[in-house]
């Protein structure tokens, strides 16, 4: 519990955090990785290089300071982070490492401005926040053990691999011990732990792309090239594409994630699922669940892709369209190739826009689930807000550290 004086100090630091947050978090990560290299496995170097991890942490710290007297306002953000932490196996013993490096970074970045009162207040504030995460994450671990029969990592066999598009490979994974898989929640992800040649073990989250309740998990992995000179290519995606074959054994942690299809659907509102690129993976799992469990509800599925070569699951989606009368689907390619125009197989060209939404759902109130690249998410979110869609009806997931769609 923070004292009144500590609360006042935290609130007074908000302007400093707004101005220096990213400087602080960059210093924090550099310091922590140097002082405590054992935590490196929990972080994706591509996110560090791009600065998205640092920006996300700076935003989270600032939001915590702004809501220091009303932490309930951060419940959704806490849940997102707690699920991510649990997916990676972060435990109570890791929190002192973060706390020590964060407080030292505040002292080192702010210098004499970091008075004893500021350090004391932030030490107390961090302790309160750490307890919130530790308690929630332990609940997640307990729920995993009860629901799936394990927590931590378990050995799975790659039973099958197949191309979903020119740049996406699907892997079908079955427990090595032969135990049945309880159904995951549509939209959840698993964590894969791998050891590429010449590398320490690394962990990556991959959404489950198949029907909940299937006998195997399916992940569908896009090869991630370096986005710019000097940036790392996707270490895990390259290893999976090039070296992991049928019969190999990998390690999986149980499903996690808060971006899941609502358990209490409003059948009067159409369900609109919008997927961009490899962001289709959690959306496809939701689509299966919605069609099987919400037969009385209109389901609209919009798939956005660059072109037909990198559009995943074309045959699978065509089958679903034939099998379910309540499914209305639309494929939009932003940069179709000549081969696409000759063969067809898509419905329209360009970016998703109001005209397409008017065509598919008209003026009906609807519930939306979105997943895709950040520019696409930001574009669609702003479209929906301009259409007057309530924020409570817009659900989305970032791949990587969470960002701000309103920017």
Give the per-residue pLDDT at 196: 86
Would you tell me how many other CB atoms lie within 10 Å of the CB of residue 89? 18
345 within a domain of the structure (yes/no):
yes
Answer with the one of 129, 148, 167 that is the final residue of a domain: 148
Same domain, 309 and 232: no
CATH number of 168's domain: 2.40.30.10
Q: Which pLDDT tens digit goes with each residue over 15-32?
A: 988 898 999 999 999 999
Same domain, 138 and 169: no
pLDDT at res. 232: 63
pLDDT at 137: 97
Predicted local distance difference test score (pLDDT) of residue 225: 81
Do 77 and 130 belong together in one domain?
yes
pLDDT for residue 294: 85
* C-beta of residue 360 within 8 angstroms of C-beta of residue 330: yes
Same domain, 8 and 144: yes
- Asked if 82 and 187 sit in the same domain, the reply is no
- Per the DSSP assignment, residues forming a β-bridge with 299 are 271, 327
Provide the residue range defining the domain that includes 351: 271-397
Q: Verify that 144 and 158 share a domain, yes or no.
A: no
In a domain, 162, yes or no: yes
| List of E strands, 214-283 | 217-222, 249-256, 271-276
Q: Are residues 89 and 132 in the same domain?
A: yes
Is 407 part of a structural domain of the chain?
no
In the chain, the number of structural domains is 3
Answer yes or no: do 284 and 377 share one domain: yes
Residue 213: its pLDDT value, please? Answer: 94
Query: Low-confidence residues of the chain, pLDDT below 50?
Result: none
Q: Are 24 and 54 in contact (CB under 8 A)?
A: no
What CA dihedral angle connects 54, 227, 169 and 256, to 10 degrees? 10
Long-range contacts of 134-143 (CB under 8 A, 24+ apart): 134/92, 134/95, 136/78, 136/79, 136/82, 137/82, 137/85, 137/86, 137/90, 137/91, 138/92, 140/82, 140/83, 140/86, 140/256, 141/86
- Model confidence, pTM: 0.92
| Helix, strand, or coil (residue 334) | coil
Q: Looking at the annotation, which residues are catalytic?
A: 95, 137
Q: pLDDT digit string (tens) for 296-313? A: 899 999 999 999 999 999
pLDDT at 226: 67
* CB atoms near residue 77 (< 10 Å): 15
What pLDDT is stored for residue 404 in this prediction? 59
CATH code for the domain in which residue 116 is found: 1.10.490.10
User: Does a structural domain hold residue 406?
Assistant: no
Both 121 and 184 in one domain: the answer is no
* 169 and 129 in a common domain: no
User: Which residues on adjacent β-strands are paired with residue 348?
Assistant: 332
């Amino acid at each position: 519990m923070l004292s009144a004086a500590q609360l006042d100090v935290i609130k007074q630091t908000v302007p400093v955090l707004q101005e220096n947050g990213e400087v602080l978090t960059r210093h924090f990560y550099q310091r922590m990785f140097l002082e405590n290299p054992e935590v490196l496995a929990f972080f994706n170097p591509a996110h560090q290089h791009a600065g998205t991890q640092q920006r996300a942490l700076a935003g989270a710290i600032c939001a915590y300071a702004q809501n220091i007297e009303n932490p309930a306002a951060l419940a959704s953000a806490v849940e997102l982070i707690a699920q991510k932490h649990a997916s990676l196996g972060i435990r109570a013993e890791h929190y002192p490492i973060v706390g020590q490096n964060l407080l030292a970074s505040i002292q080192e970045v702010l210098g004499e401005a970091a008075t004893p009162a500021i350090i004391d207040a932030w030490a107390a504030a961090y302790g309160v926040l750490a307890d919130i995460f530790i308690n929630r994450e332990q609940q997640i671990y307990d729920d995993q053990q009860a629901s799936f029969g394990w927590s931590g990592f378990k050995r799975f066999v790659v039973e099958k691999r197949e191309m979903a598009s020119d740049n996406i490979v699907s892997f079908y994974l079955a427990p090595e011990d032969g135990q049945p898989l309880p159904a995951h929640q549509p939209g959840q992800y698993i964590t894969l732990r791998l050891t590429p040649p010449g590398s320490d073990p690394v962990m990556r989250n991959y959404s489950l792309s198949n029907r909940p309740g299937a006998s195997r998990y399916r992940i569908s992995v896009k090869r991630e090239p370096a986005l710019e000179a000097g940036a790392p290519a996707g270490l895990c995606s390259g290893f999976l594409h090039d070296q992991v074959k049928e019969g190999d054994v990998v390690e999986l942690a149980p499903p996690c994630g808060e971006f899941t299809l609502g358990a209490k659907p409003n059948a009067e509102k159409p369900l609109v699922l919008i997927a961009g690129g490899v962001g289709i993976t959690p959306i496809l799992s939701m689509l299966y669940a919605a069609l099987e469990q919400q037969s009385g509800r209109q389901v609209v599925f919009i798939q956005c892709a660059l072109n037909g070569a990198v559009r995943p699951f074309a045959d699978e989606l065509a089958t679903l369209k034939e099998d379910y009368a309540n499914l209305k689907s639309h494929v939009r390619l932003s940069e179709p190739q000549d081969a696409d125009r000759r063969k067809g197989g898509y419905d329209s060209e360009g970016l998703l826009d109001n005209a397409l939404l008017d065509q598919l759902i008209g003026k009906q109130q609807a519930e939306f689930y979105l997943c895709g690249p950040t520019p696409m998410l930001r574009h669609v979110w702003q479209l929906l807000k301009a259409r007057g869609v309530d924020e409570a009806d817009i659900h989305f997931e970032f791949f990587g550290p969470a960002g701000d769609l309103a920017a």
